[in-house]
């Protein structure tokens, strides 16, 4: 077995209503002045009200609810400026991946005073950060257990900080927070979580390891058996719980064995055309898998995952045949769940394929992990097949 390193969130709390019942523990961890980061939709829905009320029994709370989808560098800088003015002692990220990504880097810059532009990339963050607690409200990004934060720059390029320093102290997983999630968002974020596990399992990263692979498989078992129920019967606590744990396990997995080509090609879709990240992944997923399926290693990996997600797949045939069936079933699942299937269906012009292909080549930290090398012409053909 090759050597590897493995890091994840040191404290995970799972349970219905844990967003409320863990308030005292969270306040002790974060201190007197808590900076609470979320998005305007969640604030308007009142999803944060009971949690804020409980936290205020122990700490002062300042709410920042300006986080948008695919959060911008301007939003990050604004959050840091406001947080400095209240002498923040700890940070909460509450919401989807966007709010958690802003919270991670806000806590980093507040704690270290470093220049954010020197932290982009892998292992460039210096730290320390302020105490940090994350509450996911979707079952998709797994950001509550990953050492990664992605921010959209002024030129629409997505840049990331990847460092164990920004792993939170606590992740609070409360399935009740996901009950009201609309079916389409449930579907897109669920596919996103599946992409994390699939790409992590097949990653060419030198740090791909037995722990990540084991977690990826368990993640896909939970996600594959529950995603339809979560989408079509969103009030099912069992399905919501399975999705939340599955998403978290996928996050732990890809936080150590990084994702690859699907994400590299999804980022320009979100950065340029503001398509939600989960849907961006879903749109290119079968096409990248098909591109990879001429690689023997990818075939072997995909054929191992196929019956975990789709137990009905017959495994008494060749790995190549199993992989082909797997890719078609992934595509059919996305359609069944009500997601758009083509780039043109979400308003992306065919002329945008060339620019996106160029932009995808900037995602070198992801492309290096893909089972098969992707060149710009390959990316263009993938986008064209997805269009």
Q: 116-127 burial string, b = 16+ CB within 10 Å, else e?
A: beebbeeeebbe
The Cα 200–Cα 254 span in angstroms is: 5
State mean pLDDT over 164-188. 97
| pLDDT for the residue numbered 219 | 98
Strand order in the sheet with 33-37: 11-14, 170-173, 132-136, 90-95, 33-37, 60-64
Instruction: Please name the CATH architecture into which domain 11-178 falls.
Output: 3-Layer(aba) Sandwich (3.40)
Q: For the chain, where do the domains classified as CATH 3.40.50.1970 start and end?
A: 11-178
Taking only the tens place, the pLDDT of each residue in 220-243 is 999 999 999 999 999 999 999 999
- pLDDT cut 70: percent of the chain above it: 100
| pLDDT for the residue numbered 226 | 98
Task: State phi, psi for 11 to the nearest 5 degrees.
Answer: -130, 125
Max Cα–Cα distance, the chain, nearest Å: 64
Report the SS3 class of residue 35.
strand
The Cα 372–Cα 272 span in angstroms is: 25
The Cα 387–Cα 371 span in angstroms is: 23
Q: Can you say whether residue 62 is alpha, beta or left, with left for phi > 0 and alpha for psi between -120 and 50 degrees?
A: beta
pLDDT of 280 over the 90 cut: yes
| pLDDT for the residue numbered 193 | 98
Taking only the tens place, the pLDDT of each residue in 53-95 is 999 999 999 999 999 988 999 999 999 999 999 999 999 999 9
**CATH code, residues 183-386:** 1.20.1090.10
pLDDT of 209 over the 90 cut: yes
The Cα 228–Cα 224 span in angstroms is: 8
The Cα 324–Cα 313 span in angstroms is: 11
pLDDT of 155 over the 90 cut: no
Nearest by Cα to 270 from 120, 363, 152: 152
The Cα 387–Cα 382 span in angstroms is: 9
CB 111 within 8 A of CB 7: no
Taking only the tens place, the pLDDT of each residue in 2-39 is 899 999 999 999 999 999 999 999 999 999 999 999 99
Q: For the chain, where do the domains classified as CATH 1.20.1090.10 start and end?
A: 183-386
CB 67 within 8 A of CB 95: yes
CB 339 within 8 A of CB 188: yes
The Cα 338–Cα 65 span in angstroms is: 29
The Cα 324–Cα 232 span in angstroms is: 27
pTM for this model (two decimals): 0.96
The Cα 128–Cα 113 span in angstroms is: 9
Token duo for residue 148: 């990664």
Taking only the tens place, the pLDDT of each residue in 245-255 is 999 999 999 99
Taking only the tens place, the pLDDT of each residue in 292-337 is 999 999 999 999 999 999 999 988 999 999 999 999 999 999 999 9
SS3 of 253-288: the string is: HHCCCCCCHHHHHHHHHHHHHCCCHHHHHHHHHHHH
- Give 217's pLDDT tier (boundaries 50, 70, 90): very high
Task: State phi, psi for 102 to the nearest 5 degrees.
Answer: -65, -40
| pLDDT for the residue numbered 157 | 87
The Cα 129–Cα 107 span in angstroms is: 5
- Residues 6 or more apart whose CB falls under 8 angstroms from that of 318 comprise none
- pLDDT cut 90: percent of the chain above it: 96
The Cα 314–Cα 357 span in angstroms is: 36
pLDDT of 200 over the 90 cut: yes
CB 340 within 8 A of CB 276: no
pLDDT of 1 over the 90 cut: no
Task: State phi, psi for 173 to the nearest 5 degrees.
Answer: -105, 105
| pLDDT for the residue numbered 303 | 97
DSSP, residue by residue, 219-254: HHHHHHHHHHHHHHSTT-HHHHHHHHHHHHHHHHHH
User: In the chain, count of helices (H) and strands (E)?
Assistant: 16, 9
Nearest by Cα to 88 from 142, 46, 47, 30: 30
């Amino acid at each position: 077995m090759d050597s590897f390193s493995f890091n994840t969130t040191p404290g995970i709390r799972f349970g219905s209503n844990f967003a409320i019942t863990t308030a005292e523990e969270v306040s002790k961890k974060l201190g007197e002045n808590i900076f609470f980061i979320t998005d305007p939709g969640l604030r308007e829905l009142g999803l944060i009200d009971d949690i804020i009320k409980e936290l205020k029994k122990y700490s002062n709370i300042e709410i920042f609810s300006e986080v948008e989808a695919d959060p911008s560098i301007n939003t990050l800088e604004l959050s840091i400026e406001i947080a400095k003015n209240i002498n923040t002692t700890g940070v909460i990220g509450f919401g989807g991946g966007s709010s958690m990504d802003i919270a991670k880097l806000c806590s980093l810059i507040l704690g270290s005073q470093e220049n954010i532009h020197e932290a982009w990339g892998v292992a460039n963050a210096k730290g320390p950060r302020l105490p940090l607690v994350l509450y996911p409200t979707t079952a998709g990004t797994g950001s509550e257990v990953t050492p990664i934060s992605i921010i959209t720059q002024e030129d629409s390029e997505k840049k990331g900080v990847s460092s164990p320093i920004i792993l939170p102290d606590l992740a609070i997983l409360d399935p009740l927070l996901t009950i009201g999630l609309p079916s389409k968002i449930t579907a897109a974020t669920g596919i996103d979580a599946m992409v994390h596990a699939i790409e992590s399992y097949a990653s060419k990263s030198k740090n791909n390891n037995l722990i990540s692979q084991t977690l990826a498989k368990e993640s896909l078992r939970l996600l594959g058996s529950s995603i339809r129920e979560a989408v079509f019967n969103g009030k099912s606590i069992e399905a919501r719980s399975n999705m939340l744990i599955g998403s978290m396990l996928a996050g732990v997995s890809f936080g150590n064995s990084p994702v690859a080509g699907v994400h590299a090609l999804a980022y320009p879709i979100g950065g340029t055309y503001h398509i939600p990240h989960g849907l961006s992944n879903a749109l290119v997923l079968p096409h990248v898998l098909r591109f990879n399926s001429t690689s023997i290693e990818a075939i072997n990996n995909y054929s191992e995952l196929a019956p975990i997600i789709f137990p009905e797949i017959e495994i008494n045939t060749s790995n190549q045949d199993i992989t082909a069936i797997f890719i078609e079933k992934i595509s059919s699942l996305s359609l069944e769940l009500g997601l758009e299937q083509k780039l043109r269906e979400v308003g992306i012009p065919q002329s945008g394929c060339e620019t996106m292909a160029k932009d995808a080549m900037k995602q070198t930290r992801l492309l290096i992990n893909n089972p098969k090398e992707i060149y710009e012409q390959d990316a263009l053909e993938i986008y064209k097949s997805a269009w």
